[in-house]
């Protein structure tokens, strides 16, 4: 292009974030600044979203500092994005502090902190935030209840979760969507009420999706119910859900039940259907730079040194463990 405007850069950054190419979006932002284009609030919202998704706290903090220094009256959308960035980068305390300092809030502001509390396992904090939100007259929506029910799920608050789930339509005038049913199916299953989870699934006004079946399959694994797990997997196969995560859950269930023949059959089905497990990715921040790793990853420049050190640490820990157990055995014999 002979000329690139702020709109051009924003469109490119935003579409990369939407496609989950967050590092590329951040690289574009750096190029944009190098070319002399001054970012506007739309740019910063997209970049903060990229930081949230990638866990890039260093860049997120830098953006926040720029907002404080250069924007006298940041928009509510930009403030909400900043709170969300801190929460998703693991700094729930900073997110809550910024939320409390906001002079003006909307429903999105509350939804962000409720969801953040849920993700961080602070179930009762999420419930109290919800009650404050309602008490102060803010309108709750389906997103609010996804955060609230997720918090109850993570915290094992069965009675509280069931109360708010049942009150959605009558009290709060919010229609139940498939995500809300998924939270409750998962909550019932994790607490050991598989029959209630299946009953709820049968009463759903919509067809269960892969998330619902995954929640139920995960519950079967937690409860060690291979028979029910097989029934769920049969439904998955009939509906032609070929997500690798469901097969991995089922394989783990068989492994824990030591049903090795079923493990072999399931892996054969995966091979025939060319179903591949999604690679697990880990990220670590060192010196302000984000490094990404896969299992058995050799792409990093210092991979050999990293694995050598890991082997040394493993040997050291095993030696300490053996020494401790030997000392305990000696003490017992004496």
185-196: average pLDDT: 87
Q: Give every CB contact of residue 148 below 8 A, 6+ residues apart in sequence.
A: 114, 118, 126, 127, 130, 164
pTM over 0.85: no
- Alpha-carbon distance of 82 to 109, in angstroms, equals 10
From-to residues of CATH 1.25.40 in the chain: 177-279
Looking up tokens 């907002």 gives: 67
Helix (H) or strand (E) holding 251: helix 244-256
- Residue 75 structure tokens: 């928009």
Q: What tokens appear for 41 in the block? A: 């609030």
Q: What is the mean pLDDT of residues 40-55?
A: 92
Residue 297 has pLDDT above 90, yes or no: no
pLDDT of residue 244: 64
User: Which range is least confidently modeled, 82-91, 241-250, 307-316?
Assistant: 241-250
pLDDT for the residue numbered 25: 94
Count how many Cα atoms sit within 13 Å of the Cα of residue 173 in the half-sphere of its side chain. 2
Over residues 137-146, mean pLDDT: 95
Q: Does the pLDDT at position 262 exceed 90?
A: no
Looking at the predicted structure, is the pLDDT value of residue 36 above 80?
yes
Is residue 213 within 8 Å of 243, Cβ to Cβ?
no
- Residue 208 confidence (pLDDT): 82
The average pLDDT across 89-97 equals 92
**Full 3-state SS string of 152-186:** HHHHCCHHHHHHHHHHHHHCCCCCCCHHHHHHHHH
CATH of 177-279, one of 1.10.287, 3.40.1130, 2.40.10, 1.25.40: 1.25.40
272 — pLDDT class (breaks 50, 70, 90):
low
Measured CA to CA, the distance from residue 311 to residue 308 in angstroms comes to 5
Residue predicted with more confidence, 122 or 277: 122
Banded pLDDT at 251 (limits 50, 70, 90): confident
203 or 114, greater pLDDT: 114
42/44 Cα distance (integer angstroms): 5
Give residue-wise pLDDT tens across range 298-326. Answer: 666 677 788 788 888 888 888 887 666 55
Position 128 scores a pLDDT of: 96
What is d(CA 162, CA 304) in angstroms, rounded to the nearest whole number?
51
For the CA atoms of 223, 224, 230, 236, the dihedral, rounded to the nearest 10 degrees, stands at 50
Does residue 268 carry a pLDDT above 80?
Answer: no
Position 96 confidence tier, pLDDT thresholds 50, 70, 90: very high
Question: Over the chain, what is the mean pLDDT?
Answer: 84
Q: What's the whole-number mean pLDDT along residues 242-262?
A: 69
Residues 6+ apart with CB under 8 A from 295: 279, 280
State the pLDDT at residue 13.
Answer: 95
Res. 229: pLDDT tops 80: no
210 band by pLDDT with thresholds 50, 70 and 90: confident
Q: Is the pLDDT of residue 153 over 60?
A: yes
């Amino acid at each position: 292009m002979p000329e690139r405007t702020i709109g051009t850069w924003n469109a490119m950054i935003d579409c990369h974030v939407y496609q989950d190419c967050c590092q590329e979006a951040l690289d574009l932002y750096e190029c944009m600044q190098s070319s002399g284009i001054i970012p506007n609030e739309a740019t910063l919202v997209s970049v903060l979203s990229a930081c949230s998704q990638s866990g890039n706290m260093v860049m997120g903090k830098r953006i926040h500092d720029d907002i404080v220094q250069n924007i006298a009256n940041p928009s509510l959308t930009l403030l909400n994005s900043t709170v969300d960035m801190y929460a998703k980068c693991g700094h729930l305390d900073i997110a809550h502090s910024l939320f409390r300092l906001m002079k003006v809030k909307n429903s999105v502001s509350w939804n962000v902190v409720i969801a953040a509390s849920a993700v961080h396992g602070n179930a009762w904090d999420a419930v109290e935030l919800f009650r404050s939100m309602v008490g102060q007259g803010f309108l709750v929506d389906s997103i609010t209840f996804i955060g609230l029910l997720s918090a109850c799920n993570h915290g094992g608050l069965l009675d509280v979760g069931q109360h708010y789930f049942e009150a959605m339509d009558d009290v709060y005038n919010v229609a139940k969507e498939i995500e809300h049913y998924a939270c409750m199916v998962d909550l019932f299953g994790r607490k050991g009420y598989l029959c209630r989870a299946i009953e709820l699934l049968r009463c759903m006004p919509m067809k269960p999706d892969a998330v619902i079946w995954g929640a139920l399959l995960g519950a079967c694994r937690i409860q060690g119910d291979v028979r029910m797990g097989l029934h769920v997997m049969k439904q998955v196969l009939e509906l032609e859900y070929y997500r690798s995560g469901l097969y991995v859950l089922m394989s783990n269930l068989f492994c824990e039940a030591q049903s090795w023949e079923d493990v072999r059959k399931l892996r054969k089905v995966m091979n025939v259907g060319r179903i591949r497990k999604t690679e697990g990715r880990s990220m670590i921040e060192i010196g302000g730079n984000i490094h990404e790793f896969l299992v058995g990853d050799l792409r990093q420049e210092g991979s050999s040194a990293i694995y050598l050190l890991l082997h040394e640490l493993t040997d050291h820990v095993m030696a300490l463990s053996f020494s401790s157990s030997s000392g305990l055995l000696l003490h017992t014999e004496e």
